[in-house]
Amino acid sequence: MTRRPPPPAPSVPGPGAREPGTGLGTLPAPADLRAGVKLVEDHATRVFTWDYRRDRTQLVTLYNKAMGSQWNSVTDLDWDTDVDPERVVADMGDDAVPRLFRVAATLPGSPLAAWGEPEFTRLGVELLTARLSQFMHGEQGAMITAAKLVETVPWIDAKYYAATQTMDEARHTEVFARYIDTKLADSYPMSPFLDEQITALMEDARWDIAYLGMQIVIESLALAAFGELHRTVTEPLLKKLLRYVMSDEARHVAFGILSLSELYQGLSSAELGERQEFLAENTLRNRARSTTPEVWERLGVPVRAVVPYLMEAATMTGGSVFAGFQRAFFAKLVPNVRKLGLLDANDGWLRERWGQAGLLEFEFATDTAEEYERYDAVSADRAAQTPGHEPTAGAGV
């Protein structure tokens, strides 16, 4: 039977209508709270199901795995670890302050020309803080989206798993916020790029778009970003935090693949085409990432003054700061999308476009549904504490 997303819920004003501009209804709220929230209209229909049969075996297995892999953000991480942000940056080397920035400082007229190591070290700390801030905001967006899935998916096994993911994402938001607050400095605002992506998922009436955008696109992006930072950082608290977050995120991607693979078998060509267009729009258009302007503002450097020199330095050094990250992202995304059948639907519409962009080299990389257990750092650490246990090679990334 063809399964289609439910139609948009009708907009019906009810009791407690919102005050314009507050997003807090008619409830009284202090000014600081009103200034610190964002209202997003969610048009999706909420779904109760009376079918409680546990007949999606792979989702049941994943749910059981999720329950057994829950970790405690307070007791499983050593928050007493002394963190020197400048030492963290120094140990990361060029991965903290890419060569591009140093090249920009050598160009005639550059606003960075007078910089020495103290300034570049501070830049590295701010770039790390900005990076973790986007992780934190993205995890809150994932938490809200996962909660939406609990409410909107029609299958009980998917509701159960999405509930565990909501808890995971809450924990991720918490640990990134705590690390920034206690080990670094003030956080940065959510980037417009990430804000636009996540807001669109929350507003869309089609519940499977929340799946596709969050579980497949953004979670694949997150795995790549976390993996890149985990590879380069040596600070033990952050390194373990990233290992544990990646352990959860890999399961989340697997959840999306398992659920959407079933759904997409029943969609029409037109409906599949909409999903293919969504992927093209959210990958090809958004391949370029810009530097966080607030970093330069915090360092007292006018953004407009420094950007031309950064662009010239990028040309001189042969590419973007994010080239390695982009490869890691697509190495995860493309095989996951192939597993969904969206590469070849509609006579290979998406295959053709991704092929033109040079992305098909990643087609046969291992999809996350097959490798998520490799990321399970939580189980690996617990097993390692068992007397007589011999660690499995590669466990926990």
Res. 2 pLDDT band, cuts 50 70 90? very low
pLDDT of res. 31: 63
Report all structural domains of the chain as residue ranges with CATH numbers, in order of start. 52-384 (1.10.620.20)
For the chain, where are the E strands, in sequence order?
none
Res. 368 pLDDT band, cuts 50 70 90? confident
Residue owning tokens 């507050």:
22
pLDDT of res. 375: 77
Neighbours of 283 (CB within 10 A): 23
Mean pLDDT, rounded, for 366-378? 75
pLDDT tens string 118-177? 999 999 999 999 999 999 999 999 999 999 999 999 999 999 999 999 999 999 999 999
Report the C-alpha gap between 206 and 161 in whole angstroms: 19
356 phi/psi in degrees, rounded to 5? -65, -30
Q: Which two tokens stand for residue 241?
A: 């935090």
Between residues 352 and 377, the one the model is more confident about: 352
Instruction: Report which of 249, 326, 237 is spatially closest to residue 288, judged by C-alpha positions.
Output: 326
Q: Please check whether residue 7 is in contact with residue 45, taking contact to mean a CB–CB distance below 8 angstroms.
A: yes
DSSP class of 94: G
Instruction: Report which of 215, 201, 383, 357 is spatially closest to residue 284, judged by C-alpha positions.
Output: 357
**pLDDT beyond 50 at 10:** no
pLDDT of res. 9: 36
Q: Is the pTM of this model over 0.95?
A: no
**pLDDT beyond 80 at 322:** no
Q: Please check whether residue 42 is in contact with residue 148, taking contact to mean a CB–CB distance below 8 angstroms.
A: yes
Q: Please check whether residue 142 is in contact with residue 155, taking contact to mean a CB–CB distance below 8 angstroms.
A: no
